[in-house]
A and B are shown apart, each in its own frame.
Chain A
Amino acid sequence: MSDIFPKWTNKLPAYLIVGGALVGSAVVAGAWYYFTPKYTRVGYQPIQPVSYSHYTHVEQLGMDCRYCHTGVEKSYHSNIPAASTCMNCHNQVLKDDPRLELVRESAATGKPIPWVWIHKTPDYVYFNHSVHVNRGISCFHCHGQINKMDEVQHAQPLSMTFCLDCHRNPAAFIRPVEQVYNLNWQPDSATKQLADGKKLVAQWKVQSLENCSTCHR
């Protein structure tokens, strides 16, 4: 009887098992590593129309976040300031600088500056800034050390598990309300954070909300 299957086919099942396992685990590993906001969103740093530096304004000049983001304590949306806010100082500082051309034009005509939106949650997420900042969740927790960024970059994944990590255990993150806008503040230690956090959670009756409708309406 002649060979229907050549001799090398004896090794075929082994090849298929080893190859399949390799390719399969590579695909799983790739999806795990790449199909997450930790990869797709973190590090997003678009070129903005005006090269505004948070480092200069916050870290060097010591300005408070709320000088510009006036709505953050009152509204679900933390607003980009009107160009007139920039002109409070820039009608004198860097008065004729070409980098501020768009700001001057916007202040004079009302034409919006086309800032690129970086921290963009999905449209079915109803995140409320005011309720977080008024109860000890700092800008830092979601936006990172904006005060150290010359150009803003997406610092945290802002994925659903990112929100839930804190919603499940707020005591590990909540901080004294007077330190919310101090992006350099660090708890003395993790144990102290947890102890103080527990006190604040009890004092403010912070609920560990994990219901779908907390964020999705």
Chain B
Amino acid sequence: MTMRYFLLGFLLVCAMVVSVAGFRGSLSRRPPIEIFPDMDRQAKLRPQSADDFFPDGYSSRLHVPNTIDRSQPVMVGGKAVFPFEDNPLNTGMQPGTPPGATNFVEVNPLPITAELLARGQERFTINCQPCHGAGADGKGATPRYGMVVIANLHDPRIVRMTDGEIFNTVTYGKNLMQSYAMNLEPRDRWAVIAYVRALQLSRLATVDEVPADQLAALPPNAAPTTNAPPTNAPASP
């Protein structure tokens, strides 16, 4: 008899624990219980969290005015360029351009290498493709959700733009496009510009520029109509 009551009570307690505590992995809105808290939470600052140490409560500090991050220089033609220098790499303008002037550099200060283009493609896919599209034609995903006026980067206006002016647009934004300076370091901005130039070139190329061993891969009606009439180009099969 006693055993029966005991077993009943035991099962009841088990059922109660399971019904209150639930199962592993079940969704919970409450913060996790730290069963042995030991030194899990220490009196130290972790990034991007609230903390009373500073009066404004930010654990991640904003820049002290007129300072920059600890940084590595970018090598341009064998010369180290630091982020605080008045150099085309950082400004997109000729050195010594007074504030407010727009003395943009014509071409990318970095040598165009396969590595730079690959980096540019990767950064373009991350930062630019959502709006401008994989082909840079302004047909990304966001226009379908209400983004208006996305620039088509094959627009002759942009094709003719200097590299420095594109750098300026990426750095400071333009019209509805915001600044991407925080997302792309100067070297990455130039890499993206080099990749965009490659994309533009891909739509402006003529049959003459196709390497001879790849001509056979062209569809039969790929002859260009505008830029350069294929006078002496070998006929496509």
Contacts and interface: CB of A to CB of B under 8 A. Distances in A.
A5 interface: no
A134 to B, nearest CB: 13
A121 to B, nearest CB: 9
A15 B127 contact: no
Interface in B174-195: 176-180, 182-183
A26 B14 contact: yes
Contact of B25 (A34, A43, A94): A43
A43 B28 contact: yes
Interface string B78-92: 000000000000000
- In terms of DSSP, what is the predominant structure of the interface of chain B? loop
Nearest to A112: B58
Contacts of A92: 146-148, 176
Interface in B1-56: 2-3, 6, 10, 13-14, 17, 21, 23-35, 38-42, 44, 46-50
Contact of A117 (B3, B35, B49, B126): B49
A8 B39 CA distance: 51
A187 interface: no
Interface in A52-83: 60-64, 66-67, 70, 77, 79-80, 82
Interface of B: 2-3, 6, 10, 13-14, 17, 21, 23-35, 38-42, 44, 46-50, 58, 125-127, 129-131, 141-142, 145-148, 176-180, 182-183
19 contacts: A35-B35, A39-B23, A40-B35, A61-B145, A63-B141, A64-B125, A64-B126, A67-B130, A70-B183, A84-B178, A85-B182, A88-B178, A89-B142, A92-B146, A112-B58, A114-B50, A122-B40, A123-B44, A124-B39
Interface of A: 8, 15, 18-19, 22-23, 26, 30, 33-35, 37-47, 60-64, 66-67, 70, 77, 79-80, 82, 84-85, 87-89, 91-94, 112, 114, 117, 122-124, 153-154
